[in-house]
Structure 1
């Protein structure tokens, strides 16, 4: 029986964590010179007091937000399910808060915390995993493989508001 798609993705990330970290440290993905600042700008414009980076990987976004001249958030938390990525994130950013957790356990791993902005950079498996962590109303920024529409603005398609990000509880 084939592995469920999410399990296959996680198995691949676990097997490829070290090469991924090396690739990013060597600035081996040219498009990141454009997409990384666009993602940071999309988040910074909200001037949030707290940010949750779901699927933080090796922590580049948490470090970038913390390094902003006018750091947008006082509390930046990264969470990923791959231990090697979380360990690397913490090692590179000792002042950061990083947790290793499965998405289905986010709420308990974060002990009921809520966040002004939640970021899912190529990592959103399901809206339910982050909905209860959002301090409403607030944005959920996602990076997606396909554009939302044909608007050529540099940051368009990097951010969208999911329905639960607009509702009051």
Structure 2
């Protein structure tokens, strides 16, 4: 039974030959491949190569792109600090006014988000129907908190919950 078939059967509560395994191998895969994180987060081929190496080493039922919580904030306008030794971080938050404005339309497919879609395409092409392939995407609350800063968002949730709710709905759609 292939990993993808095992996961599909488990999702339907049908019997499987074993419990599906879907570890988050992204950062570990990059370290294993000895690729600098700053390059792996910006170059789809390097990230895909690292993940394919991890699939060969561990034989998971599913593989996911790197869990990079700075990609969505970058698409929303945050400045990102890239370092070779670790995943990128938000170095300058987005002004809260931007998050609350109507400027959010069509921004999610900018910045590095296309890197992750390219990695998924490359993985799917290499792995076919053997292994489930996925990308990790932040939900609207996580993306907003990382974009404007958790403290700012927490204050806004207390002081202007309706505005934050509207912004989160726009982020989610």
Please state which structure has a larger fraction of its residues in helix.
2
Q: Which has the higher contact order (CA 8 A, sep 6+)?
A: 2
Structure 1 length normalisation: TM-score? 0.25
Structure 2 length normalisation: TM-score? 0.25
